[in-house]
Structure 1
Amino acid sequence: MEFWLRYDLRSPEFAAPVSALAQTAIEQAEWADTRGFAAVQLSEHHGSADNYNPSPLLLGAAIAARTKNMRLAPVVIVPLQDPVRLAEDVCVLDQLSMGRVELTAALGYVPSEFEMFGVSMKDRGARTDRALQVLRAAFDGRPFDFDGRQGTISPRAHSEAGPPLFVGGSVPAAARRAGKYGDGFYPMTGSEGMIGEYERACADHGRPVGPIITAPPPNYIHVSRDPERDWERIAPYVMHESNSYAQLAKELGQQTPYAEVETVDDLRKLGTYLVLTPEECIDYLRPHRDKHHMVFAMLTGGLDPDLSWESLELLAAEVVPVLQADAEPGASS
């Protein structure tokens, strides 16, 4: 199991400003770079009332300048992007980071975001295919050719084969795209059944089955010396995240692991969020060691940076080394 950090820079009215959260994210990534963390995941949404980060590649560039080891794993809503400019930006980020980019292409699902960009949601599948074609050509060092547009992306990525390209999603079409264009598949929550679809698509297109990124639940773990105290301290922030996702899912008629909550007891019963001591965190994660990675969203809902640092320092000092030692040959638990 790898340990990842994740940042989306949500900044609701009661939280720290975006600038403070962004600086915290950069500083935490730099600090974690030599403490056993493998990657930092950067998410994207647009027009959010709570300032959700719309530019994961820009944040990735800032983090690249302050780190040397961690992979940069932006999740980009590709049908909203011009595919040529997206390929250029990803290749430049790979150059800046000396080959540490690992891109996940997402389809997007929020109608208002597509309206902002003047893109019809009916076209998102076709636009995603075009973007993946251009990205694949750029990473392979080939010219692209689509809709009368031709050219070659320059400079190429730093990595000889280009950044690993994952396709994310929870429907069969996403699995098929991953098999056709991707180097791996990132099935989203509740979509483990898509793995077989992905493997069949790889066979159909003569491509090897790549890594399948799976992570254990829940969606958030806060490591604490005093969980009872810290449930109260983190509650406003994680309530904001849970309520935001739940309200959006309700509007769209989609299923979600999130729910609208009003109290700490509601949060605890939900199971999506956990506050654990270092020992409890180790016990919780040990059965999931076969998973690809565990993501720790250190600034969930605009979490106070001081609380975030407390959790990260405990995680790095008392959880990560133990689980990494477990994974060493000959280790027993």
Structure 2
Amino acid sequence: MVMPVLRFNFANPNGEASTQREMVLAAIEMATWGDTRGLAAVSVDEHHLTSHGWSSNPVMTAALFLHNTSNMIVSIDCALGPLWDPLRLAEDIRFVDSMSAGRLLTTVGLGYRPVEYQGFGVDFDRRAALMDCLLERMLAAWSAETFVDGRPGSRIGAGTWSQPHPPLYVGGGVRATARRAVRFSLGLSLPAHLPELGQYYLDLCQRQGVEPNLIMPTAVNRGMIFLHEEPEKAWAEFGEHILWEAVTYGGWVDGAPLSSMHLPGVLTLDEVRASGRYRFLTPDELVAEARDCPDYGPMVFHPLVGGMPIDEAWKSVQLFIDVVMPQLR
């Protein structure tokens, strides 16, 4: 089964507001156009103090996409939980959950960049305790039976559209994350193919009587795809956009990658190409790859990567919808 996903972060090397506006409008148009043509989801994330316009409010961003579509889901991968006020995040998610009739999926994670915590005046060393507080207060705020902190009038509404509450996952790649998810009876979203950790979570759920809900990338990391009729030409003309994002994103990690998309230490386009994390493919190549793998899973497209020219981004999305999708049906 193939699940086509569009990923957007709206980052561009210069962080120019005019460029970002054009990217946001183009992204909304792509999602709207693809909503009735087989696109399954849009994925957005959250980062701060990047100097190049990386999406900083994933709930607001998700609402833009959901308002303009009727079928696809929007997945927040992920919100930096300890940097949010718990009640504010609960209220915002509840609003978007209701507006979209339950099409918002939210993963909350700790994050890994101390500079983001410093910018918000939050103690990086207390992030685990802050996450526990966040989850406890959000779940209480969504409940139709309890008050937040026991104070009258602090409940945000008589329940939520999605029951028992909006879809919420705990994100991370260590055992403490799995224990936290089980403790709050929530789903677990893993940043990479980590079968031992996934099984640890499932075993904990069974012992605690919790219904499991596990999201884990497939064993084969197919990276982020950009369709082009001439891949070698595309690498030569547009590889600089991919290199910029790969170097920037990888530079935030010191040591081992924290997700299946991190490339710590990469400096050259050859290194990026060899990693397989970003790929230019022809439509025929993608069709053949998908047909050879019945359990393909998410097929992630990143059309506006690194400030990619909008007309080229559109060509990639249109090739998928008009050429690839009919053959995969």
User: Are 2:257 and 2:264, in contact at CA under 8 Å, matched by a contact in 1?
Assistant: no
Residue number in structure 2 paired with 1:67: 69
| Separation of aligned partners in 2, 1:321 and 1:162 | 36
Residue number in structure 1 paired with 2:244: 240
Instruction: Extract unaligned runs of 5+ from structure 2.
Output: none
> Structure 1 residues 66 and 185, CA, compared in 2 at 3 Å: closer, same or farther?
same
Residue number in structure 1 paired with 2:263: 258
Residue number in structure 2 paired with 1:329: none
> Structure 1 residues 315 and 22, CA, compared in 2 at 3 Å: closer, same or farther?
same
TM-score (norm: length of structure 1): 0.88
**Which amino acid in the other structure matches residue 263 of structure 2?**
Y
| Separation of aligned partners in 2, 1:69 and 1:135 | 26
Q: Deviations over 1:263-303 (max 9, x none)?
A: 54333223221111111112233455425423222212222
Q: Does 1:268 align with 2:276?
A: no
**Which amino acid in the other structure matches residue 120 of structure 1?**
D
**Which amino acid in the other structure matches residue 215 of structure 2?**
I
Residue number in structure 2 paired with 1:277: 282
Q: Does 1:206 align with 2:209?
A: yes
Q: Equivalent residue of 1:11, what SS?
A: coil
User: Are 1:5 and 1:39, in contact at CA under 8 Å, matched by a contact in 2?
Assistant: yes
| Separation of aligned partners in 2, 1:147 and 1:108 | 29
Residue number in structure 2 paired with 1:8: 9
> Structure 1 residues 167 and 285, CA, compared in 2 at 3 Å: closer, same or farther?
farther
Residue number in structure 2 paired with 1:172: 175
TM-score (norm: length of structure 2): 0.89
| Separation of aligned partners in 1, 2:281 and 2:120 | 41
Following TM superposition, by how much is the alpha carbon of 1:10 offset from its aligned partner in structure 2, in angstroms? 0.7
Percent identity of the aligned residues?
32
Following TM superposition, by how much is the alpha carbon of 1:24 offset from its aligned partner in structure 2, in angstroms? 1.1
Q: How many residues align?
A: 322
Residue number in structure 1 paired with 2:89: 86
Return the match for 2:232 from 196, 206, 228.
228
Residue number in structure 2 paired with 1:296: 301
Following TM superposition, by how much is the alpha carbon of 1:81 offset from its aligned partner in structure 2, in angstroms? 0.4
Residue number in structure 2 paired with 1:77: 80
Q: Equivalent residue of 2:195, what SS?
A: coil
Q: Equivalent residue of 2:301, what SS?
A: strand
Q: Equivalent residue of 2:250, what SS?
A: helix
| Separation of aligned partners in 1, 2:57 and 2:134 | 17
> Structure 1 residues 155 and 89, CA, compared in 2 at 3 Å: closer, same or farther?
farther
Q: Does 1:313 align with 2:314?
A: no
| Separation of aligned partners in 2, 1:302 and 1:179 | 39
Q: Deviations over 1:196-236 (max 9, x none)?
A: 12112212331112242424423311111111111123211
| Separation of aligned partners in 1, 2:177 and 2:307 | 30
| Separation of aligned partners in 2, 1:160 and 1:17 | 39
| Separation of aligned partners in 2, 1:100 and 1:59 | 13
> Structure 1 residues 149 and 260, CA, compared in 2 at 3 Å: closer, same or farther?
farther
| Separation of aligned partners in 2, 1:272 and 1:77 | 23
Following TM superposition, by how much is the alpha carbon of 1:29 offset from its aligned partner in structure 2, in angstroms? 1.0
Return the match for 1:44 from 30, 46, 52.
46
Q: Equivalent residue of 1:102, what SS?
A: strand
> Structure 1 residues 239 and 95, CA, compared in 2 at 3 Å: closer, same or farther?
same
Q: Deviations over 1:151-191 (max 9, x none)?
A: 31226432233222121111111122222335422111253
Residue number in structure 1 paired with 2:154: 151
Q: CA RMSD in A?
A: 2.4
**Which amino acid in the other structure matches residue 152 of structure 1?**
R
> Structure 1 residues 317 and 99, CA, compared in 2 at 3 Å: closer, same or farther?
same
Q: Equivalent residue of 1:194, what SS?
A: helix
Following TM superposition, by how much is the alpha carbon of 1:99 offset from its aligned partner in structure 2, in angstroms? 1.8
**Which amino acid in the other structure matches residue 306 of structure 2?**
G
Residue number in structure 2 paired with 1:107: 110
> Structure 1 residues 89 and 270, CA, compared in 2 at 3 Å: closer, same or farther?
same
